[in-house]
Chain A
């Protein structure tokens, strides 16, 4: 096989795996949007917050330590323990469920029946509140997140692919990040689990019911409040996965919250209401921007990855505003 083709393959593979991470964030958006019609701007910050919390718990950091020290004049920073990744993630889940409860109890319960734009503004407020809270609780320094996921390129794949090129063609095999491979597997499991949960359990059915018709849901005995807490918890859970993957890849830093912006074009492609759409949309954006950069980047002066996704989304907005899988928008006259 020619080296150019192999390089193209490698770019595509890397694009797919980057797309998986976009899809993970987009998935959180879709869950909340479907069940409550809220466009949750804070999804990215939730990923950041969960990653911060996970690092904090695993490293035994004292929450609000700066605040406590400033007020009481003490010098405490650490509990002096280290918790392994499994229990760390478990505790983080508890924190995210607690957060979901608080968000529903103190914010959205009071905004039932409001205009979508008001709900959206509330999530922007929530995003900044959580960013501040994360800062106050765990400090603003960049942290490394090590949950024991493999790092670096996969030698096995390099060795496997190096023979594909012609003899003496100066080809050294494909570079595929192990972390990306793990992320792909985890994301696939997560999606299958979510779909099964939504399809074949009482709560999943109740979730879909609430997404479909509030009044009918009430009439069969479904508590909207409970379902919304459940949905925010699930979105929190997805945020943990996204936070762990991104955090392990590029360190836990506050720019992590900006991945929410990358999820926007994914949603425009996939539609705001479709779980498969979020996945496919993520993959298309991932592959699209990597391949575009590889093929046309040099001609356009590079750095096309920064804007390619948005231009693609813009094209979709013009020609297919409901996305690839979204519910069709029918104008009734």
Chain B
């Protein structure tokens, strides 16, 4: 496990030591290799991006981190310990929150209830005390409700607090999903294409929220994104994937000047 010194970025944020390290991850579906021998790390407080063309294995990588896929080879190190094979809900309880490319919200529940589910990890009272709604259960509910209201304010969705999520437009749903993930006070927040399908204005809003989250709460963020401009502006470090392999890793500037990356991806994307 590499122990790195903390450093301060140009804009004054502190990047801490490694919080998660992927070591030689290989993921296969039957005979098809989705990810081949990929290693990289995520440091505390940074915005880490994973980019690559369609089918490069970015979403698969995110699913490995969040426990939805179990890699055939390789190790996941989290907070200095090797992570044993886990169910996705156990990974979530360890403090890794995520959003989905196609939005996975509880459509029938209100925005407030959706965000409250994000707090489940913080609520420790048992079924029995909940059933009689006394003591710890009651206190917890009130405290967590306060925290959730803070998140709702932060993401500027106060006006739709009581609206059933199913009735919201796409852009707002994305924001509610973000609120739910953020409510968990995650050690790592995984965003699967947070700006997919948004118009320019919505994209700007989302970028601002991502930066503010990182700045105010110190949230470590790992995101997948197609929009190159956005990625280069947002992230501290970038992993570039192509055909399931890692072809580049470094600051946006380093990646931009990496010939392999230019050939595989940027060269095609920019005329």
CB within 8 Å of B: which residues of A? Answer: 196-197, 200-206, 208-209, 211-213, 215-224, 230
Return chain B residues, CB-CB under 8 Å to A230.
127
Q: Looking across the interface, which residue of chain B has its beta carbon closest to that of A212?
A: B106
Majority secondary structure, A binding face: helix
Whether the Cβ atoms of B88 and A206 lie closer than 8 Å is no
Q: Is B76 an interface residue, CB under 8 A from the partner?
A: no
Return chain B residues, CB-CB under 8 Å to A197.
130-131
Interface residue ranges of B51-109 to A (CB < 8 Å): 66, 68, 87-90, 92-93, 97-98, 100, 104-109
Among B111-119, B150-158, B195-203, B243-251, which stretch is in contact with chain A?
Answer: B111-119
Among B4-12, B133-141, B230-238, which stretch is in contact with chain A?
Answer: B133-141
Complex: A58 Cα to B4 Cα, angstroms = 67
Q: Looking across the interface, which residue of chain B has its beta carbon closest to that of A219?
A: B98
Return chain A residues, CB-CB under 8 Å to B120.
202, 205-206, 220-222
Complex: A200 Cα to B100 Cα, angstroms = 26
Return chain A residues, CB-CB under 8 Å to B137.
201-202
Return chain A residues, CB-CB under 8 Å to B93.
221
Q: Given A208-B109, A212-B108, do A222 and B89 touch, yes or no (CB 8 Å)?
A: yes
Return chain A residues, CB-CB under 8 Å to B184.
220-221
Q: Given A200-B141, A202-B123, A208-B109, do A219 and B131 touch, yes or no (CB 8 Å)?
A: no
Whether the Cβ atoms of A219 and B88 lie closer than 8 Å is yes
Partner of B130, one of A201, A209, A216, A218: A201
Whether the Cβ atoms of B92 and A201 lie closer than 8 Å is no
Count how many chain B residues have C-beta atoms less than 8 Å from C-beta atoms of the other chain.
36
Q: Is B23 an interface residue, CB under 8 A from the partner?
A: no
CB within 8 Å of A: which residues of B? Answer: 66, 68, 87-90, 92-93, 97-98, 100, 104-109, 113, 116-121, 123, 125, 127, 130-131, 133, 137, 140-141, 180-181, 184
Work out how many contacts link A and B, with CB atoms closer than 8 A: 90
Whether the Cβ atoms of B130 and A213 lie closer than 8 Å is no
Q: In angstroms, how far is the closest chain A Cβ from the Cβ of B41?
A: 23
Q: In angstroms, how far is the closest chain B Cβ from the Cβ of A126?
A: 23
A202-B120, A219-B104, A220-B117 known; 17 other A-B pairs, CB under 8 Å? A197-B130, A197-B131, A201-B130, A201-B133, A202-B140, A203-B130, A205-B109, A205-B117, A212-B106, A213-B104, A216-B104, A216-B106, A217-B89, A220-B184, A221-B89, A222-B117, A223-B90
Partner of B66, one of A196, A211, A219, A223: A219
Q: Given A201-B130, A201-B137, A213-B107, do A206 and B117 touch, yes or no (CB 8 Å)?
A: yes
Return chain B residues, CB-CB under 8 Å to A219.
66, 88, 92, 97-98, 100, 104, 181
**Which of A197, A202, A208, A222 counts the most B-chain CB atoms under 10 A from its CB?**
A202
Return chain A residues, CB-CB under 8 Å to B106.
208-209, 212-213, 216-217
Whether the Cβ atoms of A218 and B113 lie closer than 8 Å is no
Q: Given A208-B108, A216-B106, do A224 and B89 touch, yes or no (CB 8 Å)?
A: yes
